[in-house]
Amino acid sequence: MFRGIYAGTSAMLVQEKMLDVVGNNLANVDTSGFRGRVAVNKSFPEVLMDRVERYTIVDEALNEELKERKFFPYIRGRSSIGSISLTNVMSETTMTLERGPIQWTDNPLDVVVDGDGFLAVEDGNGNAFYTRSGNFQRNDAGMLVTHEDVYIMGDGGRIQIGEATQVSIGEAGQVYADNELVGTLRVVNFDTPTYLHQVSNSLLAETPQSGPPQPALNARIISGGLERSNVQVVTEMVRMIEANRAFEVAGRTVTIQDELTGRMFQSLGRPTQ
């Protein structure tokens, strides 16, 4: 067992995941309502490692029976090979909660959730999701949907505006179609929203860690604008450089450990199987 190789490989896997998270943040820098994510690492003081081994079966009669059944004449098992200290692993990714800048569009179907809260939406199969993106549209059936074609949910279900020529949305989320109230936007919050699961660029799903949705009491709806992504490009570029350099260092560690192992084999001879 070569602990240095295991530790270096673990570090490389962590930095690879870090680069994936940063890349996803940068790819959505122009996505309305997108909340950046941060990779969280965890250091274990001690990690137990097992080795999968093959034990040859010495019973010849059993060997013949296994061969007839097209099984190999050995069994598999696990045995402990010790522990490794200070192993770094990827624990989770969490969502940042800072509100992104507002882009004013003067479009009455564009809204911003001012404060803590998420708009409740639903896909065609009835699955519930949540979003900060207020880029609303009218579909062919006259329903109010997001730019990802999921239905906007009101207190009474999906909101229908029909063929109305004038649509407006009030601060409390009231949706008016030709001056007629057709629904009120359902705005919710969670006990721990950082643990919401990212389903798509702007859609989030409830998790056991986030807690169930509950009415957002302090949220206000602002019409005529969109919340842009809260991703800071400079910050993400710095994280990308740090992750690249850490990956290179970890890779170099694995290479050095491999070279030292080769020298040991040359000096002492390879271990017998």
Query: pLDDT tens across 81-136, in order?
Result: 555 555 666 667 888 888 888 999 989 999 999 988 999 999 988 899 999 988 89
* 22 HSE (CA, 13 A, CB side): 18
Q: What is the pLDDT of residues 215-254, one digit of tens each?
A: 988 889 999 999 999 899 999 999 999 888 988 888 888 8
**Block residue for tokens 């962590």:** 14
213 lies in a domain?
A: yes
The H or E element containing residue 115 is: none
Residue 157 in domain? yes
pLDDT tens digits, 128-146: 999 998 889 998 888 999 8
User: DSSP letter at 108?
Assistant: T
For the chain, the C-alpha Rg in angstroms (whole number) is 28
> Would 273 be classed as within a structural domain?
no
216 and 126, same domain (yes or no): yes
| Residues 188 and 139 occupy one common structural domain | yes
Share of the chain above pLDDT 70, in %: 78
Average pLDDT, the chain: 81
Residues 77 and 177 in one domain: no
Tell me, what amino acid is at 140? D
Quote the pLDDT of residue 257: 77
State if pTM tops 0.75. Answer: no
Number of domains in the chain: 2
Beta-ladder partners of 88: 43
* Structure token digits, residue 136: 């609303």
- My answer on whether 212 and 132 are in the same domain is yes
Same-domain pairing of 120 and 78: no
DSSP 109: T
Task: Determine the average pLDDT of the residues in 13-42.
Answer: 86
Rounded to the nearest 5 degrees, what angle is found at the Cα of 210, between the Cα atoms of 205 and 213?
70
Query: Helices 3-27 & 233-268, crossing angle to 10 degrees?
Result: 160
188 assigned to some structural domain: yes
Distances (CA, A) of 143 to 159, 178, 182, 266, 267: 6, 15, 11, 74, 76
Average pLDDT over residues 47-66: 56
Same domain, 88 and 128: no
Do 109 and 223 belong together in one domain?
yes
Residue 200 within any structural domain of the chain: yes
- Residues 169, 68 share a domain: no
Shared domain check, 170 and 151:
yes
Same domain, 11 and 42: yes
Q: Can you list the positions of beta strands (E) in the chain?
A: 37-56, 74-95, 102-104, 111-114, 118-122, 128-131, 136-138, 144-146, 151-154, 157-158, 167-169, 174-177, 180-184, 187-189, 197-198, 204-205, 214-215, 220-223, 225-227
**Can you give the residue range of the structural domain that contains 208?**
102-227
88 shares its domain with 29 = yes
- Kindly state the tokens that stand for 196: 């919401």
Q: Which two tokens stand for residue 126?
A: 């009835």
> Could you tell me what percent of the chain has a pLDDT over 90?
23
- In this structure, the answer to whether residues 123 and 185 fall within a common structural domain is yes
